[in-house]
Amino acid sequence: MSSARNRELLALVPVALLLTAGFAGVFAQESSQLGNASLIYGAYFFAVCLATHIYLRIRLPNADPYLFPLVALLTAIGLVMVYRIDEGLARDQANWFVLGLVLFALAIQFLRDYEVLERYRYLIAVGGLLLLLAPRLPGIGQQVNGAYLGVKIGPIAFQPAEFSKLAIVIFLASYLRENREVLVVGARRILGVTLPPLKHFGPMLVVWGASMFMLVFIRDLGSSLMFFAAFLALLYVATGRFSFVVIGMALFVVGAWFFAETVPHVHDRIEIWLHPYNDPQDTGYQILNSIFAQADGGLFGKGFAQALITVPGTNQALLPAAQTDTIYSLIVNELGLFGACGLVLVYLLVTARGFKIALLASDGFSKLLATGLTAVFAIQAFVIIGGVTRVIPLTGVTLPFVSYGGSSIVANFVLVALLLLVSDRARREATEPAGREAVAMGAI
């Protein structure tokens, strides 16, 4: 599989060149003199990626050769855009990128036999739920824009939901791998709808319901939607019963209506989504300016560092939370619709590689784990892009690897590490029978 790793190395070269060109474009707009800083940043970025590639060549020689370069491309786009907004934030993001790669390597080192996670699925589930609850704890919880998202312990601050999504996916993959047959065999048809047996479906619903309750409790609507969609995706892949998905969607519609009518925070989010012009200077300000910024970009964009992030001559934000919630709108404004479509295409390619890994996996847990991780990644990208384009209500999740945020980039690198672990085993097992057959034919 050395050719696979060679393809990975070759793919990293244009990624580093694109990052260099991006920084050069920003410097050219901000200064009349174009120094060698962009070349230095590009060289540092390529050196870090090269070190990671060498580690993968040693530890996971059979892993998917395109997944890491695609993730590196998303990270490069994020670094350039965050630098364009604030140099200090970009330096922090670069540090988080390096830390993410360190945890990426540690996950590969210590979870080579990732099936050990199955034995601790309930402990992992409890840990994930406790992480979700942490932002509401007095003294350490932090509230941002009405949602309880962060935890701050001394100098350390992070968003627990980013790590909780990994724990919930691991639990669901493990539980469904063990119980998917009884879910199908013991199912009953009532009024033309296939219902799973409560005995085996109950424990999973309890954990899922607890996570949904806590997410509503902390008002993190984006993560709620992300977890629920991943839950339905795993359930469908595990059982092959579309009726289960229909039931889940019906429960979601009922639950969405109930919370929209009874929970003020949810009701306000929906009202802002449906009627942003009711208060364009306050509640509707962010989403309206997000849409205006995208329209202003046109097909080809205004160019690097040309978008107006603040009102000229003031400190008032023209595009609020440009480094996090609305970074996609900034990208559309500066790179145009074509540049934004290119970014979406990269996310689609990452999703395609993840689902291909799931298809190649031979055992049930690996298949479901890869499916769940890929689904939660893709849904997270959809939730934030759909929010800023007003397809769905705007929520507080980050655009994976692009938005500023240490918790997001670190957790997503662990997610990619798990996908590569599954990929390495699946591709190795797929080639071993062919190798044994070739040896046998040679002996004959």
In a 10 Å sphere around its CB, with 0-12 CB exposed, 13-18 middle and 19+ buried, how is residue 263 labelled? Answer: middle
Residue 331 near residue 77, CB atoms below 8 Å: yes
| For helices 67-85 and 406-443, angle between their N-to-C axes, nearest 10 degrees | 160
User: pLDDT by residue (tens digit) across 63-109?
Assistant: 999 999 999 999 999 999 999 998 899 999 999 999 999 999 999 99
The strand ranges marked E within 196-283 are none
* Average pLDDT of the residues in 137-165: 78
In this predicted structure, the answer to whether residue 381 has a pLDDT above a threshold of 80 is yes
- Average of per-residue pLDDT across 20-47: 84
In the predicted model, is pLDDT for residue 438 greater than 50? no
Average pLDDT, the chain: 85
CA-closest candidate to residue 99, choices 26, 156, 151: 156
Q: How confident is the model at residue 441 (pLDDT cuts 50, 70, 90)?
A: very low
Cα distance between residue 394 and residue 2, in whole Å: 44
Contact 124, 169 (CB under 8 A): no
Residues 6 or more apart whose CB falls under 8 angstroms from that of 270 comprise 260, 393
> Who contacts 223 (Cβ-Cβ below 8 Å, separation ≥6)?
132, 161, 164, 165, 215, 395, 397
- pLDDT 10s digits, 185-241: 666 666 565 666 666 666 667 766 776 676 677 777 777 778 888 888 888 888 887
* Tokens at 274, concatenated: 């449906």
The DSSP letter of residue 152 is E
pLDDT value of residue 351: 97
pTM (2 d.p.): 0.91
Residues paired with 156 in a beta bridge: 153
Distance CA 248, CA 255 (A): 10
**pLDDT score of 207:** 67
